[in-house]
Chains A and B, each alone.
Chain A
Amino acid sequence: MGNNVLVRMHNITKKFPGVLANDRVNFELKAGEIHALVGENGAGKTTLMNILYGIYQPDDGEIYIRGRRAVIKSPKEAIKLGIGMVHQHFTLISTLTVAENIILGETSTRLIAPIRDVENRIRRISESYGLKVNPKARIWELSVGERQKVEIIKTLYREAEILILDEPTSVLTPIETVELFRVLRRMAGEGRGIVFITHKLDEVLAIGNRATILRRGRVVGTVDVGKTCREELAEMMIGRKVIANKYSKKSIVGSTILKIEDLCVNDDKGLEAVKNISLQISGGEILGIAGIAGNGQRELAEAIAGLRRVKHGRIVLDGEEITNVDVKKVIEKGVAYIPEDRISMGIVSDLNIAENIILRKYRYKPYSNNLFLNFKFINSFSAELIDKFNIIASSINTPVKLLSGGNIQKLILARELSGNPKLIIAVNPTAGLDIVATDYVRRKLIEMRNNGKAILLVSEDLEEIVSLSDRIVVMYGGRITGILKPEDVSVEKIGLLMTGGRSEN
Chain B
Amino acid sequence: MRIKLEKRENITRTLSITVTLFSVLAAMTFIGLIFQVIGINPVLAYIMIFYGSLGDIYGLSETIVKTIPILLCSTGLAVAFRAAMFNIGAEGQLLMGAIASTYIALYVIPNSQSIIIIPLMFIMGFTAGALWALIPAILKTKLSVNEVITTLMMNYIAEQLTMYLTTGPWRGVELWGFPYTENIPAQAYLPCISGTRIHYPTLIIGLCAAALIYVFTSRSKIGYEIRVVGGSREAARYAGISYVRVALITMTISGGLAGVAGVGEVAGIHHRLSPFKISSGYGYTAIIAAWLGKLNPIVALVASFFIGTLLVGGDILQVKLNLPYATVNIFNGVILLFIIGGELLLRYRVKVIM
Question: Which residues from chain A contact B238 at a C-beta distance below 8 Å?
Answer: 307, 327, 337, 339, 345-346, 359-360
Q: How far is the CB of A425 from chain B (nearest CB, A)?
A: 12
Contact B220 A371 (CB under 8 A): yes
| Chain B residue, CB-CB nearest to A356 | B235
Contact B227 A307 (CB under 8 A): no
Interface residue B228 (Cβ < 8 Å from any Cβ of A): yes
Q: How far is the CB of A430 from chain B (nearest CB, A)?
A: 19
Contact A331 B240 (CB under 8 A): yes
Question: Which residues from chain B contact A351 at a C-beta distance below 8 Å?
Answer: 227-228, 231
Decide yes or no: A360 and B240 within 8 Å by CB, A355-B224, A373-B219, A373-B221 being known contacts: yes
Q: For the complex, what is the distance from the CA of A349 to the CA of B228, rounded to whole Å? A: 9
Q: Which of B222, B231, B232, B237 is within 8 Å of A327, CB to CB? A: B237
Q: For the complex, what is the distance from the CA of A350 to the CA of B219, rounded to whole Å? A: 16
Contact A328 B234 (CB under 8 A): no
Q: For the complex, what is the distance from the CA of A1 to the CA of B228, rounded to whole Å? A: 60
Contact B234 A359 (CB under 8 A): no
Contact B235 A402 (CB under 8 A): no
| Chain A residue, CB-CB nearest to B10 | A402
Interface residue A347 (Cβ < 8 Å from any Cβ of B): yes
* A window 358-372: CB within 8 A of B: 358-360, 362-363, 368, 371-372
Q: How far is the CB of B26 from chain A (nearest CB, A)?
A: 26
> Main SS of the interface on chain B?
helix
- Bits for A299-311, please: 1 = Cβ < 8 Å to B, else 0: 0000000110000
Contact B220 A372 (CB under 8 A): yes
Decide yes or no: A372 and B221 within 8 Å by CB, A327-B238, A331-B240 being known contacts: yes
Question: Which residues from chain B contact A344 at a C-beta distance below 8 Å?
Answer: 232, 234-235
Interface residue B9 (Cβ < 8 Å from any Cβ of A): yes
Q: For the complex, what is the distance from the CA of A114 to the CA of B50, rounded to whole Å? A: 62
* B window 1-51: CB within 8 A of A: 9-10
Q: For the complex, what is the distance from the CA of A247 to the CA of B122, rounded to whole Å? A: 67
Interface residue B239 (Cβ < 8 Å from any Cβ of A): yes
| Chain B residue, CB-CB nearest to A359 | B239
User: Considering residues B221, B227, B230, B240, which has the most beta carbons from chain A within 10 angstroms of its beta carbon?
Assistant: B240
| Chain A residue, CB-CB nearest to B229 | A348
- Residues of B within 8 Å of A, CB-based: how many? 18
Contact A345 B240 (CB under 8 A): no
Contact A327 B9 (CB under 8 A): no
Question: Which residues from chain B contact A377 at a C-beta distance below 8 Å?
Answer: none
Q: How far is the CB of B230 from chain A (nearest CB, A)?
A: 8
Contact A347 B221 (CB under 8 A): no
Interface residue A384 (Cβ < 8 Å from any Cβ of B): no
Interface residue A487 (Cβ < 8 Å from any Cβ of B): no
Contact B9 A402 (CB under 8 A): yes
Q: For the complex, what is the distance from the CA of A98 to the CA of B64, rounded to whole Å? A: 58
Question: Which residues from chain A contact B10 at a C-beta distance below 8 Å?
Answer: 402
Q: For the complex, what is the distance from the CA of A358 to the CA of B228, rounded to whole Å? A: 11
Question: Which residues from chain A contact B239 at a C-beta distance below 8 Å?
Answer: 327, 359-360, 362
| Chain B residue, CB-CB nearest to A329 | B240
Q: For the complex, what is the distance from the CA of A330 to the CA of B239, rounded to whole Å? A: 10
Question: Which residues from chain A contact B227 at a C-beta distance below 8 Å?
Answer: 348, 350-351, 355
Q: How far is the CB of A186 from chain B (nearest CB, A)?
A: 40
Question: Which residues from chain B contact A341 at a C-beta distance below 8 Å?
Answer: 234
Interface residue A375 (Cβ < 8 Å from any Cβ of B): yes
Question: Which residues from chain B contact A402 at a C-beta distance below 8 Å?
Answer: 9-10
Contact A307 B237 (CB under 8 A): yes
Q: How far is the CB of A120 from chain B (nearest CB, A)?
A: 38
* B window 197-250: CB within 8 A of A: 219-222, 224, 227-228, 230-232, 234-235, 237-240
Question: Which residues from chain A contact B235 at a C-beta distance below 8 Å?
Answer: 344-348, 359
Q: For the complex, what is the distance from the CA of A373 to the CA of B224, rounded to whole Å? A: 8
Interface residue A326 (Cβ < 8 Å from any Cβ of B): yes
Q: For the complex, what is the distance from the CA of A401 to the CA of B232, rounded to whole Å? A: 13
* A window 311-337: CB within 8 A of B: 326-328, 330-331, 337
Question: Which residues from chain B contact A337 at a C-beta distance below 8 Å?
Answer: 238
Listed by A's residue number, 24 A-B pairs whose Cβ atoms lie within 8 Å are A306-B240, A307-B237, A307-B238, A327-B240, A328-B240, A341-B234, A345-B238, A349-B231, A350-B230, A350-B231, A351-B227, A355-B227, A358-B224, A359-B235, A360-B239, A362-B221, A362-B239, A363-B221, A371-B220, A371-B221, A372-B220, A373-B224, A401-B9, A402-B9
Given A351-B227, A358-B224, output 14 extra A-B contacts at Cβ < 8 Å: A307-B237, A337-B238, A339-B238, A344-B234, A345-B232, A347-B235, A348-B235, A349-B231, A349-B232, A351-B228, A351-B231, A355-B224, A362-B239, A368-B221
